[in-house]
Amino acid sequence: MKRLPLPALLALVSICFAQPVHAVDGLSGGKVVAPVAEALGEGEVELEGGYEFFRASKFIDATGTARPLGGRLSEQALALRATFGAAENFELGAAFSIFHSEDATALPAVTDTGMSDLGLGAQYVFGFSDQLAAGLRGGVSLPTSSSMSAFGGHGGVVLSASFADVWTADLDFEAGGTTAGRTETGNARWFLAWNAALGYSPLESLELTLEWNALHEHAPGGPTAHVHMVTPGCIWSVNESVALTTGVSFVLPVLSRNTDQAMTFVSTVAFVQ
């Protein structure tokens, strides 16, 4: 089975700059956050469900100082992704999530429950050899409620390599933007993101992963957010059709600016037919 975990969920974009941008399109992933240049076989369908928990109690300012928020930001989300192998080396996907957030920095605490934007995307993979492949990805996000009424789009390239039978490496770059309209921000945004990942398989059914995730996001008239995360995780292929993934992302204060100092836990189960 292809090991295709769901990336961090779309719902967190409203409170955390560290949202992986490729999560908006429902395309197959690869590691915990970093995508992989692989596509489903023609006619194959993959369904994946995921749970994510986000928590932050400090904010990293423009000088790199982590300051207490005066309370806790937290969010939980359940997500569903569906990906379809439309043709050889070409796949289409869709994703959405239902979230519940709590902002305890305000008095009284503010809670919100809702559905994320709907993400649609496409990917085409070029296989150069058995060890090297590249993928071109693009996606859009469509608003599902007036409180998050913004349109977004992105595109990027993914490079994947495998060597020595037990090691894999992945690198991707993506760029995109979001229109004005989200009540949480009120401004359009543009972003540039990259992920570097390394995987090691001590067993045929188990892959241990370590990722470096980075996102730079700017809202006109506002500060630019620089987010760097480290994400350790693991992927267990139960059988040819089912895979389980888990991982934890930690924001690095020494490199990040104008963002929450957050911890995010992700766990998913994927089924291919």
35-71 in b/e burial notation, b at 16+ Cβ within 10 A? bbbbbbeeeeebebebbbebebbbbbeeeeebeebee
Cα(18)–Cα(256) distance, rounded to whole angstroms? 10
Residue with more model confidence, 208 or 259: 208
Cα(39)–Cα(122) distance, rounded to whole angstroms? 10
| Residue 13 confidence (pLDDT) | 35
> Distance of alpha carbon 44 from its chain centroid, rounded?
22
Q: How confident is the prediction for the chain on average, in pLDDT?
A: 84
In a domain, 3, yes or no: no
- Read off the pLDDT band of 2 (50, 70, 90): very low
Q: Which two tokens stand for residue 226?
A: 């620089």
**Phi then psi dihedrals of residue 47, to 5 deg:** -115, 140
In a domain, 255, yes or no: yes
Question: Considering its fold, how many domains does the chain have in total?
Answer: 1
In a domain, 2, yes or no: no
In a domain, 5, yes or no: no
In a domain, 1, yes or no: no
Residue 14 pLDDT > 70: no
pLDDT in tens, 23-75: 445 676 678 888 889 999 999 999 999 999 999 989 999 999 999 998 889 99
Residue with more model confidence, 24 or 78: 78
In a domain, 250, yes or no: yes
pLDDT in tens, 143-183: 776 555 567 888 899 999 999 889 999 999 999 888 765 44
DSSP sequence for 9-35: PGGGGGT-TT--GGGGS----BSSSSB
| Residue 220 confidence (pLDDT) | 81
| Residue 21 confidence (pLDDT) | 38
Range of the domain at 213: 10-272
| Residue 202 confidence (pLDDT) | 97
Cα(162)–Cα(173) distance, rounded to whole angstroms? 19
Percent above pLDDT 70 for the chain: 85
Cα(271)–Cα(273) distance, rounded to whole angstroms? 7
The CATH number given to whatever domain includes residue 81 is: 2.40.160.40
| Residue 188 confidence (pLDDT) | 79
In a domain, 4, yes or no: no
**Rounded alpha-carbon distances, angstroms, from residue 151 to 48, 119, 140, 145, 204:** 24, 10, 7, 11, 41
State the amino acid at position 84 in one-letter form. F
Residue 112 pLDDT > 70: yes
Closest to 116 measured CA to CA, from 97, 102, 100, 101: 97
In a domain, 121, yes or no: yes
